[in-house]
Structure 1
């Protein structure tokens, strides 16, 4: 691919820009106006191109960075490269996709999880919590679930929004996946009341941990 490919892709993204989509996204802290379905269609057309992904990331444009994540080769990133990218990804959607689509599939995932989890930057720490939540669900062996609940109990109530949301997700996941910790997770959620009043559409499950846990356990039929 020639260097002009970045310019060509940026032109394609500019055509997809929609003011109404941007307005909705900005309410959630995201600064792009490209419909994600159309972005995925463009990624499918471009296919996997690691070099192009790196160059799109360097533009600093959020839509370009989301596209870069979709066409990247997750296992090709070095540990320090992903760490730098996370610290550059200051909007929620870019961070979420970087963690979910790249970091989770990278050989350095566990090393990054522990480093990010303990980072003083709450946005970076939220990424560590997101990776921890994934382990709670898929690979809990070796995790100190009681210790995680202690940290959540002590710190979630006053944590910044992004970190609080990530901690709350971890709390709910522990309650959903691990019956032996369910009562404690429910109790912590009830006492802290985090996200109890979060506006939730009628067809969606509340992020309030006790409701979330109860509903997911009911659906699984293992309560």
Structure 2
């Protein structure tokens, strides 16, 4: 399939209800409002096609950009490629659920995510912390440096309350994921989450959401989710 055929298919799959929901979360025109599950038949047909993924991402259409992440070849992408994708990720559903997810399947994932976390830019920070969530939730514990992750937990405790809003959410998710999916630091992650306490994240001008990693961790442990690892990062 070429770009035009994919775009026609995506447009046909679009739903006005989903389009409104995506727009309310920060998406902007152009977009069709396609459910992610509805993309699976087309993804199975195309499989992996990095060249097509690049052209779709460059359209600026939210649904096409999301689908680009599904068919991309993360191992063929360079640091510059991921930075370029981040430049185009104008809101968190792209930075955290397209770019960070794609990066999580690349060999350079930790190195790139580290740079983004240190950037001070809201969506890059959000994508960097989110990438670690996808990594910890899918890769064996042995692939990570315990001392490095312990330092990252300390960084969250020091900085989360003053971090950019979307970074707060990703850092909160990092506490949660470290506690459940990286067993060597479960106790430290729980203690860090308790020390951090509730975190207020502003959404828009008036809406404020309270994040509480410690509470979420307790509920997940009670449900038997300790040690959770997913088979696949991308859908």
Same fold, TM exceeding 0.5?
A: yes
Partner of 2:13: 16
The answer on 1:76 being equivalent to 2:76 is yes
Which has the higher mean CA deviation after the structures are superposed, 79-88 or 167-176?
167-176
Partner of 1:44: 44
Partner of 1:181: 188
SS at match of 1:144: helix
More strand by share: 2
SS at match of 1:113: helix
Aligned partners of 1:172 and 1:210 also within 8 Å:
yes
Partner of 1:7: 4
Partner of 1:194: 199
User: What pairs with 1:6-155 in structure 2 (closer than 5 Å)?
Assistant: 6-31=3-28, 32=31, 33-95=33-95, 96-100=97-101, 102-136=102-136, 138=139, 139=141, 140-155=144-159
RMSD: 2.5
Partner of 1:168: 172
Partner of 1:208: 212
Decide which structure has the larger Cα Rg and report it.
Answer: 1
For residues 150-198 of structure 1, the C-alpha deviation after alignment (integer angstroms, 9 at most, x for no partner) is 32222212322210001101122333342431452242243xx1159x9
Q: 1:216 to 1:24 in 2, by over 3 A?
A: same
What CA distance in whole angstroms lies between the structure 1 residues aligned with 2:37 and 2:133?
Answer: 26
The number of residues matched between the two structures is 208
Aligned partners of 1:57 and 1:68 also within 8 Å:
yes
Aligned partners of 2:190 and 2:214 also within 8 Å:
no
Aligned partners of 1:40 and 1:67 also within 8 Å:
no
Query: Where in structure 2 are there 5+ consecutive unaligned residues?
Result: 204-209, 227-235
What CA distance in whole angstroms lies between the structure 1 residues aligned with 2:189 and 2:85?
Answer: 35
TM-score by length of 1: 0.81
User: Deviation at 1:134?
Assistant: 4.2
Which has the higher mean CA deviation after the structures are superposed, 146-155 or 48-57?
146-155
TM-score by length of 2: 0.77
The answer on 1:218 being equivalent to 2:219 is no
User: Deviation at 1:71?
Assistant: 1.3
User: Deviation at 1:75?
Assistant: 0.9
What CA distance in whole angstroms lies between the structure 1 residues aligned with 2:82 and 2:174?
Answer: 22
What CA distance in whole angstroms lies between the structure 2 residues aligned with 1:72 and 1:183?
Answer: 35
User: Deviation at 1:98?
Assistant: 2.1
User: Deviation at 1:85?
Assistant: 0.6
User: Deviation at 1:12?
Assistant: 1.7
Query: Where in structure 1 are there 5+ consecutive unaligned residues?
Result: 199-205
For residues 188-212 of structure 1, the C-alpha deviation after alignment (integer angstroms, 9 at most, x for no partner) is 243xx1159x9xxxxxxx9521111
